[in-house]
Amino acid sequence: MSFDVMDYFRQETLPHIWCPGCGNGIILRDFAVALERLNYPRDEVVIVSGIGCSSRAAGYLNFDTVHTTHGRALPFATGIKLANPNLKVFVIMGDGDSSAIGGNHLIHAARRNIDLTAIIFNNNIYGMTGGQFSPLTPRDKKATTAPYGMIEQSFDICRLAEGAGATYVGRATTYHNQLLTQLIIDGAQNPGFSLIEAVTHCPTSYGRRNGMASPSDMVRWQKDNAVWIDKVRAGKAEVKDGQFTIGLLHRHEAPEFTQAYMEVIKRARGQE
């Protein structure tokens, strides 16, 4: 492998601050590999992130990056994309960032079908603030704010995005990292809102409280509980309780927002 992932990082900021065994580094690497294969000019790529462990990722990447406020990565990205539709805008969010405080922004970005690629680092917990449960913490799993187990139902963020109108929805894990790279590439090429859920692991705040203290236990859990959607569709596998599907979950075509907006501008100026 002659390609060096370090070409894509601000090396002076490394090593990163994430805990030992944190899956965010693996996703960050896959993202860098995807950017290498996409081969966009560097000054046409913008990476926007919110707040949380995952959102530190933008700071390590040597591109034009914006580290925004909690949950508001998508509104910032929408503004950037509308100001210059030629830019390739990637949005990095965590599960709490995208589904709790930024939940409304997520569904409306999906509804508008604006050409953004959102990568959601789903570690099932608010890791940075000490392990509070997030809307993506599965039922019965423990968190500091749910010491007897989570009693609420969790979101299926892929189905949420699909229902809201996202044109490309995929899910992969840190174990299936080649799939993750491929989904990011295809999502970036999809003209419309693409959402890629990257199931990652938080051994410090989530695994430690849920019987998976070592990072390799958590990766093994992903390996055992991820079911390929192609197999499910072909009837060769079924999704048992607690398992989740991976792969390209949904794709459809719909008018893209920035293009529609540019047409409105033309019409208003009487250029049509």
Partner 1 sequence: MIQIETNKTPKCELEIKKQWCKGCNLCVAACPRSVLALDLLGKIKVVEAEKCIACGLCESTCPDFAIRVIKNA
Per CB under 8 A, does 177 bind partner 1?
Answer: yes
Q: Which stretch binds partner 1 (CB under 8 A): 6-14, 62-70, 98-106, 159-167?
A: 6-14
**Alpha-carbon dihedral sign for residues 247, 251, 257, 260:** positive
| Strand bridging mode 88-94 / 64-67 | unpaired
Contact indicator for 123, 92 with CB cutoff of 8 Å:
no
Out of 7, 14, 72, 74, point to the residue binding partner 1 (CB under 8 A): 14
Out of 13, 129, 189, 216, point to the residue binding partner 1 (CB under 8 A): 216
Q: Which stretch binds partner 1 (CB under 8 A): 10-18, 99-107, 232-240, 261-269?
A: 10-18
Half-sphere exposure of 176 (CA within 13 A, CB side): 24
Whichever of 55 and 167 has its CB closer to partner 1, that residue is 55
| Shortest spacing between CB 99 and partner 1, in angstroms | 23
Out of 183, 215, 245, 256, point to the residue binding partner 1 (CB under 8 A): 215
Per CB under 8 A, does 26 bind partner 1?
Answer: yes
| Shortest spacing between CB 220 and partner 1, in angstroms | 8
What pairs with residue 171 in β-bridges? 197, 247
| Shortest spacing between CB 195 and partner 1, in angstroms | 23
| Shortest spacing between CB 7 and partner 1, in angstroms | 12
Per CB under 8 A, does 214 bind partner 1?
Answer: yes
**Alpha-carbon dihedral sign for residues 233, 239, 160, 197:** negative
Count of residues interacting with partner 1 (CB under 8 A)? 27
| Shortest spacing between CB 251 and partner 1, in angstroms | 26
Q: Return the CA Rg of the chain.
A: 18
Please report, as ranges, the residues that interact with partner 1 according to CB under 8 A: 1-2, 4-6, 9, 14-16, 18-26, 29-30, 177-178, 203, 214-216, 219
